[in-house]
Structure 1
Amino acid sequence: MKNPSKLIKKYILSKFSILVVVSLLTSYLSKSLLISDTLLFNFYSDILSYEKIQALIEQGKKWEWFGYLFIPIIYGIKFSLVTLCLSLGLFFLNTSHKLKQLFELAIKAELVFIVAGLFKILWFLYIRTDYTLLDLQYFSPLSLQNIISIPKSDIWLLYPLQVTNLFEMTYWFVLAWGLKEIIQKNIGESLKIVALSYGSGLIVWVAFIVFLTLNNS
């Protein structure tokens, strides 16, 4: 008889692998369909010569594969941090849980941001076809950034406004719904736990990015 613990590990690893593959495909489609040589030339033309831009593009294509290698590492770190936040929240509330279940939940909830990535591709392919490299970099679908305009002097507000979006809210709800099944509480209690644990971690992360932005501005 197979060890149940090993079966669970394989199950979680298979889900993690599938998510990484889907993310790699989404990232590849985004770069190949949205970022053209013309787009890069238009962006760098005011600050670099033609030869330097050409060299930059060739170098970027040469090392493009290297960036894909970091995707599973980044996901591993992110899911571990989300798991840690949720686990700490449950620990302080004296609620029993298993880390494996929380890690699996973090993997499932990430599908929300995969959908957001696909939404971005479709948006620039079929809706806003006249775009710049900056438009791609600062695009945050269904966020407060698209509603509130900020002056250049308050650029530090950009990231908090980007993070406050419909997909992020959906991510919270998916975490809460999955947590409800794990700890057998109602959705209101689960959402409260997510807000106090993951929400606190998100606030710390946003504050860190704002700090870096202010220091580099």
Structure 2
Amino acid sequence: MKNFSVYMMLILLYILLIYLDKSFITTNSKIIDFLTKDYPSEVVQNYMESQKKWWWLNYVVTPLLIGIKALLIAFCLNFLKLLDLPKIEEIKFSDFVFLALVAEFIFIIAGFYKFVNFHWINTDYTMENLQTYYPISLLNLREYISTEKWLSYPLQLVNLFELFYWIFLAWGVRELLDEKISYIKSFGLISLTYGIGLLLWAGTVCFLILNAQY
């Protein structure tokens, strides 16, 4: 029951973020200005009409993506049961799911940070700015590091909120183990489970980007 309650809260907050983004950040005028640089007006018009037709898609897909993400992270953390850790046999898969769901609120904060940045601070932005921005990440320094497209996702992953996410997972695992291990060891366990899973996922995304380029 507690997992479902947290899950519903996440859905509502993500839906709110989508609404704020569509209404105030990624507006139709911004999209049109971006597309008209490279495409004829007929193509732009068709695209905008399809956007109006399928406006609801993001709202429907979001709950599914949140659930899949939480289950995948819990699956990674569940590998801890293969290790000889105190109290590990008492931890259920649902406990890992709950930890993953609660940790997701960190990325909700990142979403609101991005909204505040573009709505009140950096108001003179373009779609290019939106595409090359992630709150407090190396992606914002991409032009100084590398312009390779396949590096965009790894650079996005190196951000302060992702670090907070790791720290929270490490804290959560330590709590589930009744504080029988140190914070450093718990962080190491997150690296061996979630960290490896994230590395494989990032590698897959980069591979797909590279294949799409050639």
Q: TM-score under structure 2 normalisation? A: 0.91
- Report the Cα distance in structure 1 between the residues aligned to 2:183 and 2:19, rounded to whole angstroms: 36
Structure 1 outlier segments of 4+, above 4 Å: none
Corresponding residue for residue 187 of structure 1: 183
Shift of 1:93: 3.8
Residue 137 of structure 1, CA deviation = 2.3
Q: Which residue of 2 aligns with 1:209?
A: 205
Would you say the 8 A contact 1:150–1:158 is kept in 2? no
- In the aligned structure 2, how far is the partner of 1:183 from the partner of 1:170? 20
1:70 corresponds to which residue? 61
AA aligned to 1:207 is G
1:48 — aligned with what? 39
Map 1:126-141; keep pairs closer than 5 Å.
Answer: 126-141=120-135
1: CA distance, partners of 2:46 / 2:205: 31
The answer to whether 1:57 aligns with 2:48 is yes
Residues 141 and 165, structure 1, Cα contact 8 Å, conserved in 2: yes
Q: 59, 65, 86: which is aligned to 2:77?
A: 86
Match of 2:92 among 93, 98, 110: 98
> Distance in 2 between the 1:45 and 1:191 partners?
48
Q: How many residues get paired?
A: 207
CA distance, structure 2, for counterparts of residue 141 and residue 11 of structure 1: 29
Instruction: Indicate the residue corresponding to 1:17 in structure 2.
Output: 8
Q: Do the aligned residues in 1 keep the contact of 2:7 with 2:101 (CA within 8 Å)?
A: yes
Contact 1:145 1:158 in 2 (8 A): yes
Aligned to 1:111: 105
Partner of 2:193: 197
How far the C-alpha of 1:71 sits from its partner, in A, is 0.8
Change (3 A) 1:161 1:103: same
The equivalent position to 1:29 in structure 2, one of 20, 23, 40, is 20
Identity %: 36
Give the secondary structure class of the aligned counterpart of 2:135.
coil
TM-score, length of structure 1 as denominator length:
0.89
Residue from 177, 180, 186 that aligns with 2:171 = 177
Q: Distance in 2 between matches of 1:45 and 1:210?
A: 28
Q: 1:125 & 1:140 partners in 2: Cα distance? A: 15
In structure 1, the partner of 2:138 is: 144
Q: 1:129 Cα deviation (Å)?
A: 1.1
Q: Deviations over 1:133-169 (max 9, x none)?
A: 12212311111222352443x3222211111110000
Name the Cα RMSD after superposition: 1.5
